[in-house]
Amino acid sequence: MEMNGVQRLDSGRIGGNQNGTGAAAGRADQPAFDRLLQERAREGLNFSKHAAKRMNERGIAVDSQLMSDLEHAVDGARKKGARDVAVIGAQGVFIVNVPNNTVVTTMSQSDMKERVFTNIDSAVIL
């Protein structure tokens, strides 16, 4: 229905439960949401602007093998319930926010000597 040039929504469609929608249908959509999250996780890792800048500054090159190793490490950490993981390998350390599938910062091997990592709950060694 249109009134004074403004589209008015049918009140039955806003929070109503006339067509079997509502809390019960919301629970039925939950598996679809879980599938969407899993698909998003399989799209590959993203690199934050900060991480990309650090990689450039520290001369860390990411090839297809390293990317595959990182994705596999993050997937394993995700299955164990990790939220923020330090992936430690020969190229350096990659701090990854697992729910967002994003590398948030990196360190080269030379930067790691006597460093302390905070705000992580897991570590994976490549």
Predicted confidence band of residue 111 (pLDDT cuts 50, 70, 90): confident
More confident call, 105 vs 116: 105
Q: Are 85 and 73 in contact (CB under 8 A)?
A: yes
Using a cut of 0.85, tell me whether the model's pTM lies above it.
no
Range from 28-32, 61-65, 93-97 carrying the lowest mean pLDDT: 28-32
Reference 125, options 65, 83, 72; nearest CA is: 72
Per residue in 12-30, pLDDT (tens digit) is 444 444 444 444 444 555 5
115-124 confidence digits (pLDDT tens): 788 889 999 9
Q: How far is CA 9 from CA 18, 28, 41, 66, in A?
A: 15, 24, 36, 51
Question: Does residue 113 or residue 106 have the better pLDDT?
Answer: 106
The alpha carbon torsion through 35, 41, 43, 48 (nearest 10 deg) reads: 140
Does the pLDDT at position 90 exceed 50?
yes
- Looking at per-residue pLDDT, the higher value among 112 and 3 belongs to 112
